[in-house]
Amino acid sequence: MLVVVVAIALIASVYGAGELSIIHHPSSIVFKGHDAIKESALPEVFTAALGFSTEQFSHWQGFYIANPFNIPEAIVTIAVDGIYDIGQNKGQHYPLLTNDDEGHVFKSLTKRIAERFPNQEPTLIRVDLANGLEDIQQHSLFEGIKSENPRHISHKSLKLKVEEDRSFLKDIALLHEIAEKIELGVVKQDFVPDVYWFRIASLHALSDLHGSNSSETQEAKQLLQEAIARLTQAFSKSYDNHVLVAVITSDASHTRLRRNILASEDTASYNLASTYSKEYPAIFNIILWFCVVMFFSLLAVSYVTANMDPGRDSIIYRMTSTRMKKEN
């Protein structure tokens, strides 16, 4: 048991800590267990949930498709940066090994959808709430959202005069504005997979300022849960329940900061070995076994030639014999 705990601690120190929470999914797919999953494997999970064949084999067995004819039509993801979890009790939760960036996960997922539907126009939206209305207004789907006023959000412990609190409340206000827009029916089912990706980083600064166990942080997590619940309900209704809603939390920013400080030390004095490309093993094996085969081939030819009977085995000796008969 001690070995397992130590191993988990080592993995967390290398990759960072996070959580994958499946908040909503249709009954056609089933999530089970609590096995850890690498963030780099999330594109495989999401594309498999959409009914696509996966590009890489994954040993993760956290879900399976129960009905391939009733798969999700949309993936909705809320990526929360700089915090391990948001205290969400609803849904299925898995430890997340953050060996990748959530932005790269989004790009990989949307690339696969675009390749499979080149003649259609899937909705592929990523909104970084830290950019405020700038990101929102880039998408015609959210046309009309012009307010990020945090005063409409009911709160007790958080204070608008504190910059970190105000930034977080603005993000929550935008999430509610987006949910309200979806509730108006701007999304239509077209049987082409869609992706909606929302990144929120303001909870990170708020938690660092007040402390992870403070009343301010707990209230902030509750407000975020309520906004996610409203988003989930809005998208579920728009897609007739054919939607997968996931929350990705990652505390990798703290872990990577500690790791970068250690990596910044001068490593020239450690006499490190040379680095090789990933093709090196294949090239080495080709050259090695080619040399071995050539050596034994030459050895066999030399042995046969040395033991050849000139009078019987070689046509060269027979054709050059002085007693060879000639036809007149």
Residue 258: pLDDT band (50, 70, 90) is very low
Q: Indicate the pLDDT class of residue 259, thresholds 50, 70 and 90.
A: very low
Per cent of the chain over pLDDT 90 is 51
**Residue 247 pLDDT:** 96
pLDDT above 90: residue 231: yes
State how far the alpha carbon of 253 is from the alpha carbons of 13, 206, 225, 318, in Å.
12, 14, 22, 84
- Average pLDDT of the chain to the nearest whole number: 83
CB-CB contact of 141 with 123 (8 Å): yes
More confident position, 264 or 106: 106
Q: For residue 320, what pLDDT band results from cuts at 50, 70 and 90? A: low
Helix (H) or strand (E) holding 204: helix 202-210
Q: List the structure tokens of 188.
A: 């239509």
Please tell me which residue, 90 or 4, carries the higher pLDDT value.
90
Q: Is the pLDDT of residue 206 over 50?
A: yes
* pLDDT confidence band for 287 (50 / 70 / 90): very high
Give residue 318's pLDDT band: very low, low, confident or very high (50, 70, 90). low
What average pLDDT does the segment 289-298 reach?
A: 93
CA–CA dist 86, 217 (Å, integer): 9
Q: Are 105 and 43 in contact (CB under 8 A)?
A: yes
Give 301-310 pLDDT, tens digit per residue. 888 877 776 6
**Per-residue pLDDT tens over the stretch 138-176:** 999 998 888 778 878 888 999 999 999 999 999 999 999
d(CA 232, CA 204): 23
Starting at the earlier edge strand, list the strands of the sheet with 37-38. Answer: 37-38, 92-97, 17-24, 243-250, 74-81, 194-200, 124-128
Q: Distance between CA atoms of 248 and 18, rounded to whole angstroms? A: 7
Single pTM value for the model? 0.73
Amino acid 281: pLDDT: 81
Looking at residue 159, its pLDDT comes to 93
Write down the pLDDT at residue 285: 87
Neighbours of 158 (CB within 10 A): 22
User: Per-residue pLDDT for 260 more than 70?
Assistant: no
Angle (CA) 307 308 312, round 5°: 145
Residue 38: name the closest of 201, 203, 248, 193 by CA: 248
Average of pLDDT values for 257-262? 44
Please state, for a pLDDT cut of 70, what percent of the chain lies above it: 80
State mean pLDDT over 209-228: 95
φ, ψ of residue 74 to 5 degrees: the values are: -150, 150
Identify the residue with better confidence: 268 or 47. Answer: 47
What pLDDT shows up at residue 7?
47
Count of beta carbons in the 10 Å neighbourhood of residue 271: 6
Of the candidates 42, 19, 39, 30, which has an alpha carbon nearest to the alpha carbon of residue 94?
19
Mean pLDDT of 199-218: 94
pLDDT higher than threshold 60 for residue 282 = yes
What residues have CB less than 8 Å from 309, skipping those under 6 apart? none
The stretch 25-38 carries a mean pLDDT of: 91
Calculate mean pLDDT across residues 205-218.
93
| pLDDT at 297 (0 to 100) | 93
Residue 164 is predicted with a pLDDT of 94
Q: What is the DSSP letter of 270?
A: G
The structure tokens listed for 326 are 């000639």
pLDDT at 190: 85
Summarised one tens digit per residue, pLDDT across range 6-23 is: 444 444 444 458 999 999
